[in-house]
Structures are given as structure tokens and as C-alpha cells.
Amino acid sequence: MAGRTKLELNPYHRFSKAEWAQYRDGEPMTLSAADINRLRALTDPISLTEAEEIYLPLSRLISFYVEASQAVHRVSTRFLGTEDHQIPFIIGVAGSVASGKSTTSRILRALLQRWRTSPKVDLLTTDGFLYPNAVLDERGLAARKGFPESYDRAALLAFLADIKSGKASVRAPVYSHLVYDIIPGEFVSIDRPDILIVEGLNILQAGELPKTGKPLLFASDFIDFSIYIDADEADLRDWFMVRFRALRESAFTDPKSFFRRLAEMPTAEAEGFAMQAWDNINLVNLRENILPTRSRADLILKKAGNHTVEEVMLRRV
């Protein structure tokens, strides 16, 4: 209508780094610079200051969410007259390859573990739910590893359902980045944590509901709080190449490495292979599957080209 200011609706509160840092609210930093160096990924230059400004306030926020979730659960059990079992609080961390999901997850876990209530915090990546390479080859999915269809989604859902039900010692398969495959017969056991952080490319996906109206479950249905690590495509590509070069001089040189041949190639040839992998696999997956889930996140960490978080967006409740 003429003369009337159009109301802009935004589902997120937006904060600069300085504004977000204030929500630390005097909480002491429980990690040292040595801890940060130990927890960060190979090529993620996160500093202690960054952890204090971004992840300490975030851990404080999540602790409030956990307390609120537990309070709602106690009300429900009192109303129903059922036994009060601790229900794990699940945090999902999503984002592109090379966005820094692993660093965020590990630092967040360390901060939450040292919270005053000393909760039991476990961390799991969804890599263990990838189909083995033999299955991917059989189904013609080898070039789509990391895409939603390359995961055993039924197994992931069963795992999350068992965690949420309070089941003891829930097992998940183990994935090796060294051999680039699931390790047969190896499992990690998650035993009734207070908080479980689940890191994965597509952890926030909901998928399409069937026309029959039959209810379906998705991994995102089990997540209590979700985080999306956001960055521009050009920056993600640069970080991917920086990581590739670092791995080519370290892990790829291991005789057991699936990518040993890349360490032995001429540099230009190896980097050409990496750029093709980015353009044809990772970038396609980002555009088609990962980025569309960003708007479903409770909190978005927007990174600048130097890998530091420049903006925090928190969903309005």
C-alpha cells in the first residue's frame, strides 16, 4: 500500500561478531590456546580469541536449551506418570565439505563438557553411515559419495531413534578417511550421553514427503538444535584446495592411503584432479543438497574468507 513501509520478515536475529561476543556474559574460558590447537582441523586457523567470541557464547546458549528441554521432559513424565529417563539432547552440525564442521563440533564438545554441570558429551560424524565402497560401486554411486543417496539412511535413523529412546551402548559403523571406506566389523559405541553432537553434510535434510501422506522420519527430526556453517562458494573451494595440499604432503603419503597415488603425481596433475572433484562432486552436492538446508538451521555461522566467523544468525523462537 502506498505510503506504508513494507514490513520485512526475517526468521533470524543477526549479530556481528562483537555483538555476539557480549553474550558470553562473563563466563570464564575453560579452554587454552593449546586445547584449541589440538582440537582444530588441519587447515582451520581458529584462534583462542575466536573460540571465546563465538563458541563460548554458543555453548552458553546451548546449555540453556538443554536445561529447557530437560524441564519439558520432566513435565511430560510427571503428567503421564512414567519413569523419568534422561533423554539425550542432539545437536546437528551441517555445512559444505571444507567449511569447518569438524573444528566447530570438537570445540563445542570440549566447551560443553567443561560446563558447570559436567555433562557427558559425545561426538559422531555421519561418515560411518556411508555405504561401503563396494556397495557404492555396485549401485553406480561411487562418483556421488557424500550425496544423500550414498548413505544408509535407514541405519542412521535407527541409530538416532535408539539414542533418543535412551538405549544403552548404541553402535555406529566406523569410517576411515585413510582407506576411504567403512572398516568392516569396527564400531563406535555411544552410551546414553547427555548431549550428542552429530556432524554431517546432509544432517539437516528433510526430503520430500510421499503423496500417500504416509509419515516418514528424517535424521533432522531427531535434532534438538542445529548449526549450519556457511561460507561463499569461492572461499569453500579455496579452503578445500588448501586442505588438499596439506593432506597431499601428510596423510596421502601413507602407504595405506587410498589417495597415495595423488601424493606421487606431479603437482599440476594432482591439483587438476582435486579441482575436478570439487567442481563435479562437492560443489554440485553443496548446491543441490547441502545449501538448501541452511534455512532449516537454528543457528548459522557465516564465515569470511579468512575462515573467521563474521556474522551469527539465531532463529527467532
271-299: per-residue pLDDT in tens? Answer: 999 999 999 999 999 999 999 999 999 99
Bridge partners for 196 per DSSP: 90, 122
DSSP type of residue 140: T
Q: Is 170 domain-assigned? A: no
Q: What letter represents residue 83's amino acid?
A: E
User: Does 45 map to a domain?
Assistant: yes
Examine the pLDDT at 267 and tell me if it is beyond 70.
yes
CB 71 within 8 Å of CB 18: no
Question: Which CATH number fits the domain that encloses residue 233?
Answer: 3.40.50.300
pLDDT band at 2; cut points 50, 70, 90:
very low
Domain interval for residue 40? 12-75+86-126+197-315
Residue 134 lies in a domain: no
In-domain check, residue 214: yes
pLDDT for 252:
94
Question: pTM of the predicted model, to two decimals?
Answer: 0.92
Neighbouring residues of 6: CB distance < 8 A, sequence distance ≥ 6: none
Does the pLDDT at position 179 exceed 60? Answer: yes
Residue 212: per-residue pLDDT: 58
Residue 132 lies in a domain: no
**Position 111, amino acid:** L
Dist CA 228 CA 295 (whole Å): 9
What is the count of structural domains for the chain? Answer: 1
First CA to last CA distance, the chain: 29
Q: Is residue 190 part of a domain?
A: no
pLDDT of residue 207: 59
Residue 202 belongs to some domain of the structure: yes
Q: Which residue intervals of 81-190 are DSSP H helices?
A: 101-113, 133-138, 153-164
C-alpha to C-alpha distance for 252 and 162, rounded to whole angstroms: 36
Average pLDDT over residues 124-137: 97
Plot region of 310 (φ>0 → left; ψ -120 to 50 → alpha; else → beta): alpha
* Torsion angle of the four alpha carbons 273, 279, 282, 287, in this order, in degrees rounded to the nearest 10: 180
Q: What is the pLDDT of residue 19?
A: 97
249 lies in some domain:
yes
Q: What is the pLDDT of residue 305?
A: 95
Closest of 229, 220, 9 to residue 104, by C-alpha: 229
> In the chain, what percentage of residues exceed pLDDT 70?
94
pLDDT in tens, 215-262: 567 888 999 999 999 999 999 999 999 999 999 999 999 999 999 999
pLDDT at 209: 53
pLDDT digit string (tens) for 73-117? Answer: 888 888 888 877 778 999 999 999 999 999 999 999 999 999 988
CA torsion 33→34→40→42, rounded to 10°? 120
Is the predicted pLDDT of residue 3 greater than 90, yes or no? no
